[in-house]
Homo-oligomer: A and B are copies of this chain.
């Protein structure tokens, strides 16, 4: 239990700070759900940061040069909601009262796109740290590209607040290590050192020296011993702003600050304090009101000065931008266009077409060719891989490396940090002005899954390149061979998964990915070579945009069976079609690169591709069969894999697991004869 807090006089600062505390208590109490303690602990920091340092304009949350603020500990959402309301964003006291109710602008955790001023959706811990690193990286890149000696038009910082949970999560390690390596000096984080977790004291499970840890990443670290000391907070922020390294400020706070019976205890963490304790706390804080959601006029007025300050800051920037536009009109237009998320006119003209070739081309190589074709035409394309640039083939030729010495480079070396790569990409995309892509082996999509899911939830058009997409990768064996990964990605709402069958389908996959602006796309690529299909006798690759299409009608006669497949299995199915024809069985071959895109087509189109009367259907994919049952139906069959792979040359494994034309013939005949 903390010592009782006694106050003799309450300053305006204190009233402004306590307004966050009381709104947070009251909103959680009304919803009878939420986390009051952390907003109460962090209220002074939020007040100092938002009213004195954060360059933001509540009236225009989209001002491009605003500072970004990320509340990585999203469970403290009332901290952010309170500040947004008080500072004068488009969020009313009524909205605050609707905390955690259906359709409200104040959901249980901060949600991008739902609440004006929320820069990213947080809650799953650690993600916000990665997002913040991505925002800082995008800002550094655009600043390096567009600022001119007398015109600093990209000059904002990224701030984040992290809890012990954020710092325990592995993704915080990956992201902080990358930020330290990249020397992202405009990134300033606060660690809310409140020493209490949901289960009790942090020392139940956590003994890290957080300052030593971040120093080992090359960060500037500082401590504020009293999280209620506004001048100490102020000084720490100024020092962080002046330091060329990313900064972590460790702030000692008290969870549930002001609550006589729950301060510094887990009881203040994840549940309402209770009517009585709320009343006692208000009394203890010398709070002037007893009604819930009371906002003292002087506090609101003082907070709302953020609007004037923000308007002035933005006006100053607009003037600066005007000067820039006069001196560098083409750069100004390019920057505007990029920040608006526009792609350059005619970018699709640059896309290559591949001649048919049985010799073959790995689809990862085709993707590399697309990157090479687009690099000059789509300057906002920026990305890399988790230390597999050579294997996944993610390098943008002649586009330079994004390094601490040169932020103009577009090739990002994310390191062996898939999870951070995902979260950083999302942050870059949220920042705007860049179109991030990132690659690794498909199996390691598992490592970045939490970040992919949040990108999908936020509708960010990030692009994932996942190569080595099946047992076809061969010798690396079962540890590296994805079996359920495709199914697991297809189960993420608003993520489009595309597994192209040949080089020309890769081109179309990239076209779809870049045209998509409301969600991420995963392009699934082979390690091994695949024939480039002869489109003169087959359906056009451009039909990929519909998810599935008839690639080949039966050689003769009416179809008796549909063979559908994705990726590397499509050419095997085509071979099976020929063998079946020799036995007098007509097979319609469907290339099905994206079940999501196909599922979104009108039923009429779907029935053209998979005629209802043609119920004998065999789906072939070297992965878990689960996603295919919907499309093969009761009279169909799926040739997939539901066990782990083996270490052997890829061709041997295709035979071993039955992905051969001969086996497909057997299965198809069994269907026809059933």
- In the complex, are the beta carbons of A477 and B109 less than 8 A apart? yes
Stretch of A174-182, A302-310, A317-325 lying at the B interface: A174-182
- In the complex, are the beta carbons of B420 and A170 less than 8 A apart? yes
Kindly supply a per-residue 1/0 record for chain A positions 107-148, scoring 1 wherever the CB is within 8 Å of any chain B CB and 0 otherwise.
Answer: 111010000000001111110000000000000000000000
Stretch of A54-62, A213-221, A348-356, A572-580 lying at the B interface: A213-221
Write the chain B residue with the least CB distance to A483.
B493
CA distance A445 to B480 in the complex (A): 20
- In the complex, are the beta carbons of B33 and A474 less than 8 A apart? yes
- In the complex, are the beta carbons of B477 and A123 less than 8 A apart? yes
Contact flag A454-B479 (CB < 8 Å), given A213-B213, A415-B205, A626-B630: yes
CA distance A244 to B544 in the complex (A): 61
> Does A63 make an interface contact (CB < 8 A)?
no
CA distance A646 to B457 in the complex (A): 11
- In the complex, are the beta carbons of B642 and A493 less than 8 A apart? yes
CA distance A33 to B651 in the complex (A): 14
Kindly supply a per-residue 1/0 record for chain A positions 632-674, scoring 1 wherever the CB is within 8 Å of any chain B CB and 0 otherwise.
Answer: 0111000000111011110011001000000000000000000
- In the complex, are the beta carbons of B198 and A208 less than 8 A apart? no
> Does A7 make an interface contact (CB < 8 A)?
no
CB distance from A370 to the nearest CB of B (A): 20
Assembly stoichiometry (copies): 2
CA distance A19 to B102 in the complex (A): 68
CB distance from A569 to the nearest CB of B (A): 17
- In the complex, are the beta carbons of B648 and A102 less than 8 A apart? yes
> Does A262 make an interface contact (CB < 8 A)?
no
CB distance from A185 to the nearest CB of B (A): 14
- In the complex, are the beta carbons of B103 and A457 less than 8 A apart? no
CB distance from A417 to the nearest CB of B (A): 5
> Does A592 make an interface contact (CB < 8 A)?
no
Kindly supply a per-residue 1/0 record for chain A positions 401-430, scoring 1 wherever the CB is within 8 Å of any chain B CB and 0 otherwise.
Answer: 100000000000111111110000000000
Q: Report which of B33, B387, B450 forms a contact with A447, defined as CB distance below 8 A.
A: B450
- In the complex, are the beta carbons of A387 and B494 less than 8 A apart? no
- In the complex, are the beta carbons of A34 and B390 less than 8 A apart? no
- In the complex, are the beta carbons of B169 and A170 less than 8 A apart? yes
Chain B residues near A164 (CB-CB < 8 A) = 416
Write the chain B residue with the least CB distance to A641.
B493
Chain B residues near A615 (CB-CB < 8 A) = 634
- In the complex, are the beta carbons of B474 and A648 less than 8 A apart? no
> Does A373 make an interface contact (CB < 8 A)?
no
Chain B residues near A326 (CB-CB < 8 A) = none
- In the complex, are the beta carbons of A109 and B480 less than 8 A apart? yes
- In the complex, are the beta carbons of B647 and A198 less than 8 A apart? no
Chain B residues near A31 (CB-CB < 8 A) = 475
- In the complex, are the beta carbons of A419 and B491 less than 8 A apart? no
- In the complex, are the beta carbons of A181 and B169 less than 8 A apart? no
Binding site for B on A (CB under 8 A): 31, 33-34, 74, 100-104, 107-109, 111, 121-126, 164-165, 168-174, 177-178, 180-181, 197-199, 204-213, 215-218, 270, 385, 387-391, 401, 413-420, 443-444, 446-447, 449-450, 453-454, 456-457, 474-480, 483-485, 487-488, 490-494, 615, 624-627, 629-630, 633-635, 642-644, 646-649, 652-653, 656
Q: What are 12 contact pairs spanning A and B, CB under 8 A?
A: A34-B475, A102-B646, A169-B417, A170-B170, A172-B173, A197-B387, A197-B416, A204-B415, A212-B212, A457-B644, A626-B627, A634-B635
Ranked 3 nearest A-B pairs via Cβ: A170-B170, A484-B491, A123-B479
Knowing that A109-B477, A123-B476, A270-B391 touch, tell me 8 more A-B residue pairs with CB under 8 angstroms: A169-B174, A170-B171, A170-B417, A198-B387, A204-B401, A212-B213, A493-B644, A615-B634
